[in-house]
Amino acid sequence: MTGDRPDHPIAVTRSSLPLLEEYVEMLKPLWESAWLTNMGEYHKQFAGLLKEYLHTPNLELFVNGHMALELTLQAMNLSGEVITTPFSFASTTHAIVRNGLTPVFCDINPVDYTLDADRLESLITPRTTAIVPVHVYGHICNVEKIGEIAGRYGLKVIYDAAHTFGETYDGRGIGQFGDASMFSFHATKVFHSIEGGAVAFRDEALAPVLYELKNFGITGYERVDSVGANGKMNEFQAAMGILNLRRVDAEIGKRKALAKRYRERLSGVEGIRLSPENPRVRYNYAYMPVVFEGYRKDRDQVFRELAEHDIHARKYFYPCINDYDCYKGRFDAAATPVAQRISQQVLTLPLYADLEPEIVDLICDLILR
């Protein structure tokens, strides 16, 4: 680091990788067997390890998190309307729309930015069949209230848990809540398998349906029972996942120390708001969101000034999904004012296991000075 500038560009995140030699060693059996995909040995091993780590009885692997979510919605044979949040990544709503379902957007709460469960019931109609809440930045939705409402109305609950790999709530793995939870193993996540994803689910009867859907609907050498997709995870992804699973807890520990440093520097500053941590949650410290609300610089100014110093934060999530160009005229973004406001005020700061603490201090110095 030279003065107030890092020696290299600082991205908002950086993929954690095992030693190259370890990965190469894992790949040698693939060259010997030439079995590269189609649910090979690493695929089976990885699925078993994840079920144990995530404390879930049922789990299916996918090529990525989006296919995991999209095919889970299809497997549940839903129709009509699905209540979700506009404060998420594009994948959440796209998965709903691509299933021929109608998304109904519920606003978020201003504390942790998850779906506002107090507004949920007012959006339920006779056409509602499911709820797709999102655990945002590692903050857990109000799973008790969402579950109670869903139970009364007979609705499915499919959580987008892309941000909460490895987290627990009251000691329970986060994949145990709702009917299903989708996890993303994209390269930018706390835990990754290069690309990849999984669904943890409650009803074991869903397992053959998900397997069939991700494998073209093929059920035998000469039999295709349904119109499926190609959502299979390959052996190279599974090998990376196995290696990264061995070190993910240590990676989370490093992230926790950096997040603590950010909080020490930025807490109590007028106009800067950090989300409180829930003592019932064991966090994975996936993101470091900061809301600039009445600060002497607005979010976009901070974003630009950091970029001038080669520090690349992210406006995550901006814009809200119900304000996307591809959905123009279909939704009213003004109907979710909290999500709209937070999307214009929030900035996620760089956070990854190998980030130097000195860079965290530099980022805070640049924001505060």
Per-residue pLDDT tens for 98-139?
A: 999 999 999 999 999 999 999 999 999 999 999 999 999 999
Bin 137: left if φ > 0, else alpha if -120 < ψ < 50, else beta: left
pLDDT average, residue stretch 310-320: 98
Assess whether 223 and 253 both reside in one domain: no
Which pLDDT belongs to residue 199? 98
Assess whether 238 and 163 both reside in one domain: yes
pLDDT average, residue stretch 189-204: 98
Which pLDDT belongs to residue 285? 98
How many angstroms separate the CA atoms of 351 and 97, rounded?
A: 32
pLDDT score of 253 more than 80: yes
Q: What is the CATH number of the domain that holds 101?
A: 3.40.640.10
Mean pLDDT of the chain: 97
Question: Could you read off the pLDDT of 288-304 as tens digits, one per residue?
Answer: 999 999 999 999 999 99
Going by C-alpha positions, the residue among 228, 184, 190, 201 that lies closest to residue 92 is 184
Going by C-alpha positions, the residue among 338, 367, 363, 334 that lies closest to residue 350 is 363
Assess whether 69 and 199 both reside in one domain: yes
pLDDT score of 5 more than 90: no
Residue 7 inside a domain? The answer is: no
Assess whether 103 and 138 both reside in one domain: yes
Choose the final residue of a domain: 242, 274, 290: 242
Q: What is the CATH number of the domain that holds 257?
A: 3.90.1150.10
Assess whether 140 and 260 both reside in one domain: no
pLDDT score of 2 more than 90: no
pLDDT level of residue 266 (50, 70, 90 thresholds): very high
What are the residues whose beta carbons fall under 8 Å from the beta carbon of 280, sequence distance 6 or more? 169, 170
Centre a 10 Å sphere on the Cβ of residue 257 and count the other Cβ atoms it contains: 12
Residue 37 inside a domain? The answer is: yes
Question: Could you read off the pLDDT of 56-78 as tens digits, one per residue?
Answer: 999 999 999 999 999 999 999 99
pLDDT score of 345 more than 80: yes
Assess whether 222 and 358 both reside in one domain: no
pLDDT score of 1 more than 80: no
Question: Which residue range(s) make up the domain with 307?
Answer: 249-368
Question: Could you read off the pLDDT of 7-46 as tens digits, one per residue?
Answer: 899 999 999 999 999 999 999 999 999 999 999 999 999 9
Assess whether 257 and 355 both reside in one domain: yes
- In this structure, what DSSP letter does residue 141 have? P
Assess whether 56 and 128 both reside in one domain: yes
Residue 14 inside a domain? The answer is: no
What are the residues whose beta carbons fall under 8 Å from the beta carbon of 336, sequence distance 6 or more? 86, 87, 105, 106, 107, 108, 320, 322
Residue 307 inside a domain? The answer is: yes
Assess whether 91 and 26 both reside in one domain: yes
Assess whether 190 and 306 both reside in one domain: no
Choose the final residue of a domain: 224, 242, 260: 242
Residue 13 inside a domain? The answer is: no
Three-state SS at 4? coil
Which pLDDT belongs to residue 330? 96
Choose the final residue of a domain: 192, 222, 242: 242
pLDDT average, residue stretch 258-286: 97
% of the chain surpassing 70 pLDDT: 99
Which pLDDT belongs to residue 4? 81
Q: Give 3's strand partners.
A: none
Assess whether 265 and 334 both reside in one domain: yes
Residue 6 inside a domain? The answer is: no
Assess whether 187 and 288 both reside in one domain: no
Instruction: Indicate the number of domains in the chain.
Output: 2
